[in-house]
Structure 1
């Protein structure tokens, strides 16, 4: 995940959004603190955008090809994605 300052973002937001459209994730910082995360809206990263936005997960610096190797889960609307993930991890530990 790339990091840019608010100032850098404000100089050319179109270029930042173009980078996101190509699959890059960008953290926007102010005085060293992350104030926003720009994630692709579809594809591999799009699956995790809502969890990142809620603060449930935090993505590590990685490439989209790394994320393509992550398991996929069919999550019913009434089930927490985190609960499914934790149950899967618990099953792997047995």
Structure 2
């Protein structure tokens, strides 16, 4: 998650919203204190927006290198993603 000051945000809010639309979470600070967290309205981060807003969880900033290390699975339309995951776990246990 990146951090910007209120002043930086006020100079070009459209650019900040464009970053959020691309999936980035942005903290807005005033005098070093977080006053707002902007989260994407869709995508993987969106499911956590309510929990972040309530202060129950904090999201760690993910770099492109972090995302590159995550496994990617091609899932055929007629196959359950859960079944693929469980099958992979069984193979790892052997």
**TM-score tier after normalising by the smaller chain length:** 0.5 to 0.7
The question of 1:18 aligning with 2:13 is answered no
Rg larger for: 2
Runs (5+) with no aligned partner, structure 2: 72-94
Runs (5+) with no aligned partner, structure 1: 70-94
Q: Distance in 2 between matches of 1:43 and 1:61?
A: 15
Q: Distance in 2 between matches of 1:33 and 1:61?
A: 17
Task: Name the counterpart of 2:37.
Answer: 37
TM norm structure 2:
0.67
Structure 1 residue 63 displacement after superposition: 4.1
Which 4+ runs in 1 deviate beyond 2 A? 63-66
Q: Distance in 2 between matches of 1:63 and 1:57?
A: 19
Partner-residue secondary structure (3-state), 1:44: coil
